[in-house]
Amino acid sequence: MAKENLSTMKEFILLGFSDFPMIQDILFGILLVMYINILIGNGLIIIITKCDAALHTPMYFFLGNFAFLEICYTSVTLPRMLSDLWTQNRNISLLACAAQLCFFLILAVTESLLLTVMAYDRYVAICKPLYYTLIMNHKVCVQLVVASWISGIPIMIGQTYQVFSLPFCNSNIINHIFCDMPPLMKLVCGNTYWNEVTAYSDALVFGFIPLLLIFYSYNRIFITIQKLPSVRGRSKAFSTCSSHLMVVGLFYGSSMIAYLQSKTGSLASAEKMLSLCYTIITPMFNPLIYSLRNKDVIVAMKKLFK
């Protein structure tokens, strides 16, 4: 009976943080505070980039879109975690699990592409300053943002369909905090070779290649910065890139470590904690990184609060 085919089942059971039964209330409080901080921090970034005329530039246009993306990205997983902790009802329907996975993958692709676009914007601003307003005009900026949002939609819908068309015959218990690809694939029986090939291909196109483009952009930026005659000019040029580099490091670093851990068969509790890094902690710290290291954002916030 343990190997009974469960492909016709109606729901999964998300174990979430059931490994820590004594601190469920504490976890709920911590995650709720984090979610509120994410909404307020990224919401403020959106408001100031829209309301302050001094921030109506391509860099802050992308930053406002990135802040909105972070709110959406977190809202796919965190409200469900809070609900599970509050009600102790860990059942999730097959359709809800598929929807969560699909939106999570689409928004993860969008984040990867938008980070690449932001790196390209810094490359043009520093390496080709005389052509910056011509290359990064408003129409191009809108096209780049729209492309970042929609490029992954058909591919990730197909990826989700592939996963949920497989038979789940090992169990219906997902030992994770949300419906993600690695824990779901552990429940699949049968040959998953082509599904894994497709997943790795998508990761290459939407993850590894954008990361290479980001590295290339910053390599050219650093070469250009080193050629600047004044120390002040080099410092100012680098300061405009350091915040973005920190965000890239947080997002790619935590997500790659988490997925490598899942492949090496590490403890499920370690996987859950690492997953929190790129789904919650990174979006929470992004507004702080951009505001504390950016004088224009600090000035705009002072104006807003006055």
End-to-end CA distance of the chain: 66
Q: How far apart are CA 2 and CA 274, in angstroms?
A: 30
CA angle 104, 12, 97 (to 5 degrees): 20
- Residue whose C-alpha is closest to residue 34's, from 88, 91, 74, 76: 74
pLDDT of residue 82: 92
Name the DSSP letter for residue 229: S
- Residue whose C-alpha is closest to residue 197's, from 244, 248, 159, 243: 159
Which SS3 state, helix, strand or coil, does residue 173 take? Answer: strand
CB 214 within 8 Å of CB 227: no
CB 137 within 8 Å of CB 149: no
Tokens encoding 86: 């509050």
pLDDT of residue 3: 43
pLDDT of residue 6: 42
Write phi, then psi, for 171 (nearest 5 degrees). -170, 170
CB 38 within 8 Å of CB 71: yes
Q: How far apart are CA 249 and CA 231, in angstroms?
A: 26
Rounded to two decimals, the pTM is: 0.89
Q: How many CB atoms lie within 10 A of CB 98?
A: 18
Which SS3 state, helix, strand or coil, does residue 6 take? Answer: coil
**Which tens digits make up the pLDDT trace of 194-215?**
888 888 888 889 989 999 999 9
Residue 173: beta bridge partners? Answer: 13
Query: Tokens 């009976």 sit at which residue?
Result: 1
- Residue whose C-alpha is closest to residue 76's, from 112, 113, 106: 106
Q: Could you tell me the domains of the chain?
A: 11-305 (1.20.1070.10)
Give the mean pLDDT of 183-198: 82
**Which tens digits make up the pLDDT trace of 129-170?**
889 999 999 999 999 999 999 999 999 999 999 888 888 876
Q: How would residue 67 be classed by pLDDT, with cut points 50, 70 and 90?
A: very high
pLDDT of residue 8: 55
Q: Cα torsion for 86, 92, 95, 101, to the nearest 10°?
A: 80
pLDDT of residue 1: 37
Name the DSSP letter for residue 227: T
- What are the C-alpha distances in Å from 288 to residues 48, 240, 247, 274, 303? 14, 15, 11, 20, 17
pLDDT of residue 9: 63
Give the mean pLDDT of 26-52: 92
Q: How far apart are CA 104 and CA 279, in angstroms?
A: 9
pLDDT reading at 291 higher than 90: no
- Residue whose C-alpha is closest to residue 163's, from 194, 203, 206, 205: 194
pLDDT of residue 235: 74
Q: How crowded is the C-beta side of 140, counted as CA atoms within 13 Å?
A: 14
For residue 153, the one-letter residue type is I
227 burial class (0-12, 13-18, 19+ CB within 10 angstroms)? exposed
pLDDT reading at 263 higher than 70: no
pLDDT of residue 151: 92
- Residue whose C-alpha is closest to residue 278's, from 302, 296, 260, 298: 260
